[in-house]
């Protein structure tokens, strides 16, 4: 009884939130933001790879820099 209600609830939540229709969009090479980019299956390859590399590096630098600043402040106030 509880399992059926839980299953019905989860199914309802899934179909209301995640079960939406996806609309495909065709990207032409002229729509890519990076010069000399090329597309494979409607994906701008250089832009996508750049985001896969640049975004994690920027996040790592931000969090690493924040950690260093926190450690410096801790050392200053611990004296």
| Contact yes or no for 69/61 (Cβ under 8 A) | no
Which positions ≥6 away from 30 have C-beta within 8 Å?
Answer: none
Q: In the structure, what pLDDT confidence band is assigned to residue 12 with cuts at 50, 70 and 90?
A: confident
Q: What is the pTM of this model?
A: 0.44
Among 17, 53, 45, CA closest to 9: 17
pLDDT tens figures, 49-67: 777 888 899 999 999 999 9
Domain range list for the chain: 2-77
Separation of alpha carbons 26 and 49, rounded Å: 19
pLDDT tens figures, 24-37: 566 676 777 777 77
> Which helix (H) or strand (E) segment is 6 a member of?
helix 2-17
Does residue 79 carry a pLDDT above 80?
no
Separation of alpha carbons 50 and 34, rounded Å: 10
């Amino acid at each position: 009884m509880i399992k059926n209600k839980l299953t019905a609830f989860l199914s309802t939540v899934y179909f209301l939130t995640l079960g939406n229709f996806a609309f495909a969009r065709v990207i032409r090479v002229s729509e890519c933001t990076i010069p000399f980019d090329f597309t494979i299956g409607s994906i701008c390859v250089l832009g996508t790879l750049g985001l896969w590399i640049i975004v994690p590096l920027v996040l790592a630098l931000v969090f690493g820099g924040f950690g260093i600043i926190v450690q410096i402040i801790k050392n200053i106030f611990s004296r």
